[in-house]
Amino acid sequence: MLDFVTLKPVWAPDCQRRALHFARIILSGEICGRVWLLLYLKSTHVPVSLLRCPLRMDQRRVEPNQNTSTNLVTLYGEFTVTGIRKVRCAVSLTDKDLIVQRLTSAPAERNRLVFSLKDCVGCRAYRANDSSDPAAYLAVYFYLQKRRWVSSGVSRQRVERCFRLSALQDPCANQEEAEKWARAVRERSAQQHHLRDGMLMSELSRPFRMMLMVNPQSGKEKALALYNHHIQRMLNEANISHTLVITERQNHARELVREADLSQWDALVILSGDGLLFEVINGLLERPDWEEAIRTPLGILPGGSGNALAASIHHYSGASPVFSEKLLVSCGFLLCKGLVSPMDLVSIHLSSSPRVFSFLSLAWGFIADVDIESEKYWVVVQEEDFVLVLALYQSHLAEDLLAAPDAALNDGIIHLFYIRAGISRVALLRLLLAMEKGAHLATSCQHLVHTKVQALRLEPYSPKGIMTVDGEVVEYGPVQAEVHRGLARLISG
């Protein structure tokens, strides 16, 4: 439970007493004559990284089960492959895999394909349009991790396996058999345990209803095309019903979720940049029923220019880095899996504007300048501006900037970075290049400081500058921020 008014954090009961004693001003000093930075850390003998929240309702600790049967065949059938009727195959469904064995005279291993049900988003049974065809069909949709042709990395690629079931003369009996298979594949796919740090993530119950907000202006103005080319099909394959909302202007999404009847929706998802999610989160927290509203599962699909949260979710899934449409496919896959995890939010108090809630970053200086100005110029900023303060709570600052590699969605930690004045242009460039792979912390740069905090206050002394929250410009001036662990919920696969 968190008290939003006084800015005093109230922590999980077991840490509450200690947490109320803030060790104020661990670090206080003038950084390059432009910024005063005051850090508030929790009481001295409770290392930040050791603080634990009690298990939340949507998390259950899973004990390893030694007796779990893993690979018993639960369904077996012999079908033809759709489109190549001469090819027959034996299909076996186990708890974990779908195994397809082509029935030919060639050695068995050579014609055997094993598809992990972890990679399956959906399965459906259907009849062909041709009413004289008594067969039923079974389509199974996988997004497999495959090696790319041109590089050493892997990315998810769509694979559809479609079988023709025609063992019986009665079309209804064939259809029933196909339905039985489809149900079994769906159930076993859903049963795959998704563990993260020993926690079982909760799953959205099927079918779930989703509001999908698309900002047609975000990024390279391709968000709608991305929906048409990838997302619509994936959602259909996963049997997720959704209502598409195309945002028309700034703050449209914010107003929409502020007024919406949330009982109609199991999830609010955006296909856009990070800016639209900022609106959605703040719209939910402006509602009178904000405590319940902010528990609505949120989702993000990358359609903007930065896509920091989408890249972070992909990173947390343990997959190797991918960009643009490959990142979209990965995030679409994670969305279809519908696994929900708590997500930290940070409340930010500006000097005279209303408080806002942030899920990504608070930045002052160079990065803020670049974030905003680059949309117009890709600008080279002045030497004296080569100083930054960045508070980040996700791993990525953009698709290709892995700024805090060990960040997590729900660890209650703000990663604070600042670069002291005096750093040369070359050293700064080297740092930013190293950040592409998350290697900047290993460069031993004297000017870079990284520390983990739970609250901070930033007082800029320079009269002008740019400050951003989640990549959006906010009022420039003193600012105070505090993390609220697991306040929101995010579909993160």
Ligand X SMILES: Nc1ncnc2c1ncn2[C@@H]1O[C@H](COP(=O)(O)OP(=O)(O)OP(=O)(O)O)[C@@H](O)[C@H]1O
Which residues contact ligand X by CB under 6 A?
A: 215-219, 247-252, 272-276, 279, 304-307, 471-472
Q: In this chain, which residue has its C-beta nearest to ligand X?
A: 273
DSSP 458-473: EEE-SSS--EEETTEE
Buried b (16+ CB within 10 A) or exposed e, 336-350: bbbbbbbbbbbbbeb
- Running DSSP on this structure, what letter comes out for residue 111? G
Smallest distance from ligand X to CB 476, Å: 18
Percent of the chain as helix, strand, coil, to the nearest 5? 25, 35, 40
Token digits for 240?
């997720």
- Cβ 228 to ligand X shortest distance, Å: 17
Distance of CA 50 to the CA centre of its chain: 24
| Pick 116 or 305: Cβ nearer ligand X | 305
Count of C-beta atoms within a 10 Å radius of residue 107: 8
Residues pairing with 361 in the sheet? 392
Indicate the DSSP class of residue 349.
Answer: E
Element (H, E) at 160: strand 154-165
CB of 214 to ligand X, least distance (A): 9
Sheet containing 414-419, strands listed edge to edge, beginning at the edge strand earlier in sequence? 448-453, 414-419, 388-392, 361-365, 467-469, 472-474
Helix/strand/coil for 424: coil
Which of 363, 364, 424, 425 shows the shortest CA–CA distance to 394? 363
The residues assigned a catalytic role are 274
